[in-house]
Structure 1
Amino acid sequence: RKTIEQDTQNYIKDLNEAIQEDREEHGKKPLPAKEEVKAEKEIRHSTTDPESGYMYRENKPEGFFYLDHRTTDMKHNIITDAYVTPGNVHDSVPYLDRLDHQIARFDFEVEAVALDSGYLTTPICKGLADRHIFGVIAHRRYHPTRGLFPKWKFHYDSE
């Protein structure tokens, strides 16, 4: 096991800047600056292959792995980019950098992207909006706790 520092500071900094800009536009006084928080987490670290990452997903093998992230052209279904990360890096983390890489490399004019529900994160939604790209992202269907009724099974009874 190894303790690492989580890299969320750039995203937090961007959010705080956007909040301050919005407050200025609406004539509100700026919020007081918050103390920088260093988030740490404990991870499993391989002593034989330190660049790999420990992956655990339901119904998948558990251990130290690598993941490859592929970008495909929707029109012709051709793989236009492949990128490898440690197994403990979420699929959504390298997405915006890879998108920018594709745009720069092939001079693509990207109008829209289609992504599965794993990419429905606030940084990706904001990144797509900043790039003026329409994102079609599936949503996750959360299953209610066993024994509880889902919201759609309830009906309004005015009496």
Structure 2
Amino acid sequence: MKKAMLFVVALLFSVGVNAATLSMSGAGSSFDQDVDVSNGSVVLGGGTVSEGPGTWFSYFDVSTDSDTAVKIEWSFNPTSSLAGATLRFYNGVEEKLFNITGDFSFTAMIYQGYTAWVDIKDATRNVFKYDVSVSAVPVPAALFLFAPALLGFLGLRRKTAVAA
């Protein structure tokens, strides 16, 4: 009976797992920039580069209500208009720099209490639209089922040791 109760409680925890809530704001840009969705487990930002050749930058700030892994995706339309850029991610602990020449995605950690920078700088420009998506990676439900199962195995092991 005790094992059945542990299983039911673990199942309830696993069903209630949600991804962290993210917030995004625009922190500056050479051209028009907007944030489409400012709160949730997925936040979207974007902008338009409206002038011809030269360089441009676009900065976004992202914060979270709990430490979470995120997937960050940059896309450009048309992709051929971006000849090169430096993508910078800083989460308050470490900085990552990527040299990109088109659509790009990566995963990283964002920590509660820190504002992460999701920036693109020194980008060669032509006329195009860019988008950035930051989505929280949810905790797998199996994680919450693992702990009660492990405790159950330890309990069985203890019972067999006492019986012997």
TM-score bin (small chain): under 0.3
Q: Which structure's residues are more often strand, by fraction?
A: 2
**TM-score normalised to the size of structure 2?**
0.25
Higher RCO, 1 vs 2 (CA within 8 Å, ≥6 residues apart): 2
